[in-house]
Amino acid sequence: MIDGKTNKVIGNVKVGNTPSAVAVNPNTNMVYVTNYYDNTTSVIDGKTNKVIGNVTVGSAPSALAVNPNTNMVYVTSDDINQLSVFNPDQELK
């Protein structure tokens, strides 16, 4: 984690194997990180900076985007040319 005002590292969050992309939903303050070799996306609470769960996605997830209006997360997978779509509210129940 980097403080945007000072550009200094203020902490680390342990996620899965080979994190490759990050996205933030500013409406929910959730952070999403793809884990390339775990085939998962880590979901991080931006208030506590703690991983609250992992969602299994396609093989070798490499990029992601979040729609803040619908809270949907979109993850591309390199190995299988797949787009995974999930709503973290439903996946992490």
Average pLDDT, the chain: 94
Percent of the chain with pLDDT over 70: 99
Per-residue pLDDT at 80: 87
Burial class (CB in 10 A: 0-12, 13-18, 19+), 8: exposed
Pairwise CA distance, residues 36 & 26, whole Å: 24
Write down how long the chain is: 93
* Structural tokens at position 93: 């129940």
The answer to whether the Cα torsion of 82, 87, 88, 93 is positive or negative is negative
Is residue 93 scored above 80 in pLDDT?
no
14-91: which CATH topology? Thrombin, subunit H (2.40.10)
Per-residue pLDDT at 92: 84
List pLDDT tens digits, range 46-88. 999 999 999 999 999 999 999 999 999 999 998 888 999 999 9
Interior angle at CA 57, CA 20 and CA 18, nearest 5: 25
